[in-house]
Structure 1
Amino acid sequence: MELKTFTEMFSDKNALDFKKLKYKFGEENLKGYLDTLNESFYHKLPLLDFKGKPAVLLPSKVNMTVQLVKRLSATYSNEKYGIQAMEDEIISTLSIEQIDSSRESVRRILNGGAPETSNENKAYGIKRGLDFIAEPANKITEQNLYQLYMLAVGDFLDERDRLMPEHKYRHDEVYVVGQNIEHQGLSSQLLSQYMVNLIEYIRRDEGLDQVVKSIIIHYYLAYLHPYFDGNGRMARLIQLWYLVQIGYTSSLFIPFSAFINETKGLYYKAFTLVSYNSKVSEGLDVTPFVSYFVDNVLTKLQKRVEPTNALEVFNNLLQTGEITAKEKDLFHYVLSAYGTNEFSTKQLEGDYKNAAYATIRNFVLKLESKGLLFSQKYGNRVRYRVK
């Protein structure tokens, strides 16, 4: 095709929507456009579509920044999971699937309370799943994936949605239904083969940006739809799990699902667009989903990623002996419980439950003087947050 036409199509605001390109530029130009992408622009992935063809990604349409990757690669080796992030993650990942859960009930479960309703069971399941993936020793294997599914979802399902004994995946077909059938999961007879290939892909270093790879893993598990229920929850969990496994432990302090939930319509639209495009091109191009995730989730969470500078300052103070063991425990608790959210001394005293108010007060004032905490006055009240 003519270079001028290809350039116009490639730079078009709907460059990732093949139906709109076809309508605007015509069927013949769309064919030439897709042929050119296949020949020179696509990165082929070692993941197969339902016809056995490699899925593809268009890297030039993914706006991943070095700054974002650097922030996500921050390491928090002293904490398993941020309590505030866990609370937000549980509420949001269930909300995405229209499962009601109150913040009060989630907090009660996080504090050791037993679930009392079906929806609280689902919240408790996500907590168990997050605890499992936060443990670095739990490597991503097919058996561990099955264990994660049972912990997070499978143990709480009705009989009709449960996996059969000795089955790691569903034994029958499944459909995602909206006004029409939006998506049909992979044939149950092929699931074991495709899932083994996905696990191999996760464990292999193919040179692709690892954060982008985590998004592809998220999409692909949902695409295969290996379970009767809980596929969305598992897709979001496995993305976090992969990031933890490669050392991006800052992801444990980031409620990814909260950002997805804020743009839930666009999230589902991205899944749908990949499916519609595949009908036009007869190939699986995951770029629309990756592009959505970078633009609507990752770029927004930069403002809420834990401040690496504060950690560096704190570690320096710890090494010089200016921070006591008690203050170390308190600081780790603040990071885990509040992240970059504000808190009061009274709130910290009540939540921590292992220090007198005078100790809490002295701790907060000391860390503020060291530049680790920032205070904000609201009338007579003062609230703090990590800088």
Structure 2
Amino acid sequence: MEELLARSGGLEQALALLNRLAAAAVPERYLHWDELRHHQPPEGLNHEQWWLAEKLSRRPIPLPLQGSDGKAFWFCQPPLLLQGLHEIDRQAGGGVVAPDAVTTRSTRDRHLLSSLMEEAITSSQMEGAATTRDVAKAMIRSGRVPRDRSERMILNNFLTMQRIRELKDQPLSPQLVLDLHRLVSEGTLDDPADAGQLRPPGKEVVVEDAYGTVFHVPPAAGELEQRLVLLCRFANGEIPAVFLHPLVRAITLHFWLAYDHPFCDGNGRTARALFYWAMLHQGYRLFEFISISSVINKARGQYERSFLFSESDDNDLTYFLLAQVKVIQQGISNLHAYLERKAGEVGALQLRLEGVDGLNHRQLALLRHALRHCGFRYTVLSHQRCHGVSNQTARTDLQKLAALGLLLRRQEGRRDVFCVPEDLAARLPS
């Protein structure tokens, strides 16, 4: 900033540039220098003058997160950010009436399981898990023991998301962060002793791409214990002594953990887990049903670029905040689209089953799944877990479908298995 001011002719000239920028009515956006230099500057300004005026217009709000350069991270509140925060509050805030599908007990558990599985699978895929969705979902539903590291990673994430729901009313502590990391990473690390442990001295890490280009050097291992204490104080609202919007706090917590990289592996999964804890802890209950990893995974470049922009532009976290606000907005849209699609599928299936008396919502959901998965095998335990019902209720559901000829019942050892017939569609009323 000092160099820019000197080259512009001093503060007085810089303020004149700022006034010129305000008068130019530039469309609302928040550009990094790497982006700004490729755009047409406002009339009467060159790129360097435009950049200086942009920097002067950004009023920093300091955060307690210290960068490796010893300078604090900060953010500002451009209208674009305020608008995004407002829209998320309106769509998913604590006082928002959630869709019937996630408040009605008859469907809530099914949608919750689906969202937890989606987040667990995509969060793991971001870290290299190589298992198909169908295989991963079948593993979770059946309770099968993971066969490899990828499946273990997905199951760990699923169990962690369930645990976060139980912990949402508790304050965050360093031990709780370590416990969550252990739950996320156990059985998936090269060194099993690293699970639930901060990076020890001598195990310094860097964030790099597949070609060895280093993008980020985290703080030294010796600083991590104290930084984790500060992270928890921030998460619990103890610092800073000014109001921060809850989403700003949750997104910053996500960034902070990823920035500090306090573990030898599993940092990304733990960072996303802390984001969910923060959202649920602050009353955003709809986030039980929203997957952010599925959105991030489709645009990894934007996620990584926003991280780099924040670190490379004087520790300005606004870039990351804006990027994650877009991710959250897309996650909310995906949830509503999913609920509408499922409601339509149930309605269409109910029309076909009007001639079959007494099918409940669990049986309809199973048939909808069965129509897309010929030969799929259901067990009493998988149906029980999927819908959160008793063993006897699950058994009764499946036995009725078998009695109607919509599932094929087989005996495997001491347990019953219910298989999807190849001609299920033809067996349904037309």
2:185 partner amino acid:
V
- RMSD between superposed Cα atoms in Å: 4.0
Between 144-153 and 197-206, the greater mean CA deviation after superposition = 197-206
Query: Partners of 1:170 and 1:16 in 2: how far apart?
Result: 38
Q: Compared with structure 1, are the counterparts of its residues 215 and 380 closer, same or farther at alpha carbon in structure 2 (3 Å cutoff)?
A: farther
- Asked whether the equivalents of residues 50 and 186 of structure 1 are also in contact (C-alpha less than 8 Å), the reply is yes
Query: Partners of 1:43 and 1:251 in 2: how far apart?
Result: 27
1:365 alignment partner in structure 2: none
1:186 alignment partner in structure 2: 219
Deviations 1:244-283 (A, max 9, x none): 2222222111122111112222122222222332xxxxx2
Secondary structure in structure 1 of the residue aligned to 2:222: coil
Secondary structure in structure 2 of the residue aligned to 1:114: coil
Q: Compared with structure 1, are the counterparts of its residues 164 and 217 closer, same or farther at alpha carbon in structure 2 (3 Å cutoff)?
A: closer
Matched, 1:49 2:67: yes
1:15 partner amino acid:
Y
Q: CA deviation at 1:233?
A: 1.0
Q: Which among 219, 229, 234 is matched to residue 201 of structure 1?
A: 234
Q: Compared with structure 1, are the counterparts of its residues 120 and 49 closer, same or farther at alpha carbon in structure 2 (3 Å cutoff)?
A: same
Aligned residue runs from structure 1 range 293-372, under 5 A:
293-305=324-336, 351=383, 353-356=394-397
- Asked whether the equivalents of residues 94 and 101 of structure 1 are also in contact (C-alpha less than 8 Å), the reply is no
2:269 partner amino acid:
R
- Asked whether the equivalents of residues 149 and 187 of structure 2 are also in contact (C-alpha less than 8 Å), the reply is no
1:130 partner amino acid:
M
Query: Partners of 2:193 and 2:286 in 1: how far apart?
Result: 33
Aligned residue runs from structure 1 range 1-387, under 5 A:
1=14, 2=16, 3-7=18-22, 11=26, 15-21=30-36, 25-27=46-48, 30-31=51-52, 33-37=54-58, 41-60=59-78, 61-62=80-81, 63-73=83-93, 74=96, 82-110=112-140, 111-136=142-167, 139-159=171-191, 162-163=193-194, 167-171=197-201, 172-178=203-209, 179=211, 180-204=213-237, 206-277=242-313, 283-305=314-336, 351=383, 353-356=394-397
Secondary structure in structure 1 of the residue aligned to 2:155: helix
1:263 partner amino acid:
A
Q: CA deviation at 1:301?
A: 2.1
Query: Partners of 2:51 and 2:317 in 1: how far apart?
Result: 18
Secondary structure in structure 2 of the residue aligned to 1:190: helix
The number of aligned residues is: 334
- Asked whether the equivalents of residues 186 and 195 of structure 2 are also in contact (C-alpha less than 8 Å), the reply is no
Secondary structure in structure 1 of the residue aligned to 2:130: coil
1:370 alignment partner in structure 2: none
2:391 alignment partner in structure 1: none
Deviations 1:104-147 (A, max 9, x none): 33223313110111111111211221121110355421111100
- Asked whether the equivalents of residues 345 and 357 of structure 1 are also in contact (C-alpha less than 8 Å), the reply is no
Q: CA deviation at 1:177?
A: 0.9
Query: Partners of 1:107 and 1:52 in 2: how far apart?
Result: 45
Query: Partners of 1:276 and 1:9 in 2: how far apart?
Result: 27
Secondary structure in structure 2 of the residue aligned to 1:56: strand
Q: Compared with structure 1, are the counterparts of its residues 381 and 344 closer, same or farther at alpha carbon in structure 2 (3 Å cutoff)?
A: farther
Q: Which has the higher contact order (CA 8 A, sep 6+)?
A: 1
2:143 partner amino acid:
G
Between 253-262 and 48-57, the greater mean CA deviation after superposition = 48-57
Q: Compared with structure 1, are the counterparts of its residues 223 and 12 closer, same or farther at alpha carbon in structure 2 (3 Å cutoff)?
A: farther
Which blocks of at least 5 consecutive residues in structure 1 are unaligned?
278-282, 308-326, 361-378, 383-387
Deviations 1:314-354 (A, max 9, x none): xxxxxxxxxxxxx9xx77x79xx89xxx768999xx63525
Q: CA deviation at 1:216?
A: 1.7
Query: Partners of 1:183 and 1:9 in 2: how far apart?
Result: 36
1:223 partner amino acid:
Y
Between 231-240 and 172-181, the greater mean CA deviation after superposition = 172-181
- Asked whether the equivalents of residues 68 and 218 of structure 2 are also in contact (C-alpha less than 8 Å), the reply is no
- Asked whether the equivalents of residues 215 and 239 of structure 1 are also in contact (C-alpha less than 8 Å), the reply is yes
Deviations 1:179-215 (A, max 9, x none): 4211111111111111211110110164222123212
Q: CA deviation at 1:89?
A: 0.9
1:317 alignment partner in structure 2: none
Secondary structure in structure 2 of the residue aligned to 1:121: helix
Secondary structure in structure 2 of the residue aligned to 1:82: helix
Deviations 1:276-316 (A, max 9, x none): 32xxxxx2111111111222442452351597xxxxxxxxx
